Structure 1
Amino acid sequence: MATQKGDNVYNQSASFWESYIKGRPSIPDSFFSTIFAYHASHSASFSYAHEVGAGVGVHSPRLAARFANVLISDIIDTNIQIAKTRLQSQDCYTFKCSSLEDTIDLAPASIDLVFASTMMHFTDVEKAARAVHHQLKPGGTFAAGLYGTYAQHEPEAQKIWQKLVLWICNNIIQKYGLDGRAKNILQNEAAGLDSVGLPDEWFHPAQRYDYNFPERSTLRDMILPPQYGLEPVSRAGEKDTVVRDVWDKGWFSKLGIEGLKEIASTWPHDEEDEEIVALWEELRGVVGQREVEGAWMVSLLLATKK
C-alpha cells in the first residue's frame, strides 16, 4: 500500500517498536474500564472490536480481554507483519493493512467498537469519521485516546524538558518535512482530541475528557515549534460533554534521565543532534540522579453511533 510522507514517521523496524512499547505509558486499567463501561451502557454486543492505526497491535490484547474478535489495522504493512508475529499465539485476531480512512471497505454495521490510540491526528478527520460511522453497528462505540506527551511537575525540570521535546518535534519536521499534511498533523495533535469532529447526523453528542494537563496550553506549547506559526484547531461539537482539569494518578510516574530518554526514543529523531545532546545535559544538571514526578497528558473521546 502506498503511504504519504507523513505516514512514514512510524514506518520503523521491530527494534524501534520494542523501544516504543517500553517508552510509552503503562495505561491504567481505569482507562479501558471507562471505555468498556461506556460501551456497555449503549450496547450489549462485545463481538467485534477494531484497533485502527494500531502499529504493532500494542493495545489489542486489552481489547481481546473483553471482545471475542479483534481486527488490527495499520497503514504500514511492516507493522502488520510485526503484529502478526507478536500476537500469533491467539486466534481471536485478524489483520488488515489499511489506513483508517480506507476501512470504508469493511462490511457496513459490522463492528461494535472502534478504538484509535494516539493516531487520529494522522488522519483526514472527515474521511476517518465517515469510515468509523460506516463500520460501526448502531449503538456502537468510537473510543479515541491520545497520550502522546509527558509533562513533569517540577517547574525547572519541565522548562528544560519542554524545550527538549519542542526541539525533537522540530528535528522530526526537518527530517520529514512540513508540507500541508504535516502541518495538519501537528495542529491536530496540539488540540488533543478536540480536533476530531463527529457529525451530528451520525453520532450522539460525544464525551470528551482531558487528564493531567498542568495548563490548557501545555500540550500546544510542547509540540508546536513557535517559528512555524501554527495554532491548534477545534472541531468539538456544541452539544458535546467536555470535562477538563481531571487528574488520574494512574498515569503518574517518577522518572530519572534514563526514563525520560525512553520516552524520547518513541519519537523518531536524530539522537546525536547537537542541540538535543546539549539539552539532555542541561536537564541532567537539574535532575541529577533523582527521579522527578510527572504524568502523561491524556485525552479521551467517547461517542455512540446513532
Structure 2
Amino acid sequence: MSTEESSSDLEVVSKDMAGSTLSESVDSKLTTPEESPNVLHADSDTRVYSEKEVTKLDAAATNGDSGDYLNGTVDAKTNGSASALMSPLYEPLNLDAVLSDTGGRTGLQRAPSILQRAHDVGNNWELYRRAGPRYPTSLEHLIMKYHQHHSNSWQLAHDLGAGSGVYASTLANFFRHIHISDPTASGVATSRKFLTEYNAKHPEKRGRFTFSSNAPEEAEESFADGSVDLAIIMESAHFTDAEKTVRSVAATLAPKGTLAIVTHRPVSRVAGNQDVAAAVERLFTAWGRRPWEIACGTDTKSQQQFNLGLDFVPVPDDLFAREKTRRITINAHAKPRDFFRVPGLDDETSHHENGMSTLSHQEMYDIPCSRVDGKEKCIAYDGEDEQARGWRFEVGWESFRTRIALLDSPDTVRRLEPHLNEVKELIMKTSPNGVTVVIEWAVSVILASRN
C-alpha cells in the first residue's frame, strides 16, 4: 500500500444515520464482511490488513443524497466544515477540518438500495448511477488530499459531464464555487433541478453553482485561461475525445491545478467466496451487455475506450507534471483491462476472414490504445486499504435481483431466475452466515497536476 499521500483515519459514515432507525430489509441486518483474500499491490508486495470495513445496507437509502457536512445553521464554533468554508476568501481551506467532520461517529455506511425510487428516474444514465455504489468518503479523501498537496487553492471547481449533478454537492464541501457543465440540455436541466433542491436544504451554500451546456472537449469556452483549481470528470471520460478533452481542460486549469477522472465497473464482483463469485459471473454473463451499454453506450469507440479502464486517457508532459501523475486502481488488482472489458467487444472488433482483419486501416488506427508510460506512478489499492474503503459491501442474494430489476425488464429477471436461484443456494451453503457475501466494485482514477 502506498504511503505517499498521508491521510487521517477515515470511516465511511452515512451522514443521516445518527439518531434514525434503519428500515427493515434483508440487507439492513448485515454486519462486518469477512476477511478478503490477499491482493497483489503495485509494488509487488502482498500484505494482509486486519482492519475490516463495516457496512450496512438499508432499503430506504438512495443515491440521491451524497452526504452532507453542513446542516441547518452554520456555526463555525462547533462545525469544522463551517469554520473551513467561512475563512477569508483567499485563505487556504482547512481541509482537515472538512475531512474530519465525521469524527466520533460509528463507522457504518448505508449502501444504496434504489429499486424503491425507480419510478422517479427518467433516463438510463440516472438509473445506472443509482444502481451503482454511492461515492464513498474515501474518494473525497483521495482526490482532495492530492489537490491540497499540489495546489491547496479552493476557489473554483469544474464538474464536467455532470449528468445529474450529484457530485457537485460533494465539491461544495470544499470549493467556494462549482461550475457544472454537460453536453446535453437534459443533463444541465437535471443538474439544475437537483442542485436547486439541494440549495433549498442547504441555504448556507446558496449561490455556489453555475451551469453551461458544453462538451468536455469545449471546456475552455466557459472560463478564462488558468482560472480553475480542480476539474473533475466522473463516469464519462470514455464518451469523449480524450486528447481534446485533456488539452481543453488543461487550458482552464490554474498552475498546479488538479485534473481528476473517475470511473467504475458497471457490475460488482464477489470477494472471498470463489463458488459464489463464479455463480455471479455466470449470472452476469447470462444477463448480457445491458449494464455495460448503460455505462458506456452502444457506440463502439466509447466501448473500446471503456475497455481500457482509464488507460486510454493521455496525460501530456507539456501540460502536466508527469512525475506527480497518479493512475490508481481500486479492487481491480492492477489489471483494469481485465475488469473493465466490455463482454463480446473484442470479438466484434477483431473479425477475420481468411486470416485477415475485416477492419479498414482507419478503423484499426482509431482503436484506442493504452497511453500509460513509465513516467507515471501506478498504484493499486484493494478493499482492505484506507483509500478503498466504501467500495466494498456485504449483501444478500436479493441485491443482485434488485439491480437487474432496476436496469432491465421483468422478462429479463424471469429469464435469469435459474441463475439467481443458484446464487441464493450457494450463498446459503458456503457463506459463513448463510445469508450474505461481500461484493466489491472495481474503480479507476487519474489524478494529475498542471504544470
> TM above 0.5, one fold?
yes
Letter in 1 for 2:133: P
Change (3 A) 1:53 1:178: closer
- RMSD between superposed Cα atoms in Å: 3.2
Residue among 291, 301, 306 paired with 2:446:
301
Identity of aligned residues (%): 24
- In the aligned structure 2, how far is the partner of 1:177 from the partner of 1:147? 11
Task: For 1:162, give the aligned amino acid.
Answer: E
Q: TM-score with structure 2 length normalisation?
A: 0.57
User: 1:152 maps to what in 2?
Assistant: 270
The answer as to whether partners of 1:21 and 1:58 remain within 8 angstroms in 2 is no
Relative to structure 1, the CA distance from residue 272 to residue 68 in structure 2 (aligned partners, 3 Å threshold; closer, same or farther) is same
Equivalents in 2 of 1:215, 1:39: separation in Å? 23
How do residues 57-72 of structure 1 correspond to structure 2 at under 5 angstroms?
Answer: 57-72=165-180
Give runs of ≥4 in structure 1 deviating > 6 Å. 172-179
Aligned partners of 2:142, 2:291: CA distance in 1, in Å? 33
Query: What is the CA deviation profile of residues 13-64 of structure 1, one whole-angstrom value per residue up to 9, with x for unaligned ones?
Result: 5375664454221222221112111111221321111111111012111111
Cα distance change, pair 171–40 in 1 and its aligned pair in 2 (3 A): closer
Q: Distance between the aligned counterparts of 1:246 and 1:193, measured in 2?
A: 17
Structure 2 residue aligned with 1:96: 212
Distance change (3 Å), C-alpha of 1:299 and 1:174: closer
**Counterpart position of 1:209:** 328
> How far apart are the structure 1 equivalents of 2:326 and 2:401?
33
| Structure-1-length-normalised TM-score | 0.82
- Alpha-carbon distance between aligned partners in 1 of 2:326 and 2:293, rounded to the nearest angstrom: 36
Unaligned stretches of 5+ in structure 1? 1-11
Match of 2:162 in 1: 54
CA–CA distance in 2 between the matches of 1:224 and 1:51?
32
Match of 1:238 among 370, 374, 377: 374
Distance 1:202 1:264 in 2: 42
* Counterpart AA for 2:237: M
Bigger radius of gyration among the two: 2
| Partner of residue 339 from structure 2, selected from 211, 219, 229 | 219
User: Greater strand percent: which structure?
Assistant: 1
2:239 pairs with 94, 106, 122, which one? 122
Contact in 1 for aligned 2:326/2:376 (Cα 8 Å): yes
String of CA shifts for 1:206-262, please: whole Å, max 9, x gaps: 111111125725414564555425698311133001112544243110122332344
RCO (CA 8 Å, sep 6+): is it higher in 1 or 2?
Answer: 1
Specify the alignment match of 1:195 in structure 2: 312
Provide the C-alpha distance between the structure 2 equivalents of 1:27 and 1:172, rounded to a whole number of angstroms.
Answer: 18
Letter in 2 for 1:55: G
Higher helix share: 1
Which moves more between the two structures, 209-218 or 23-32?
A: 209-218
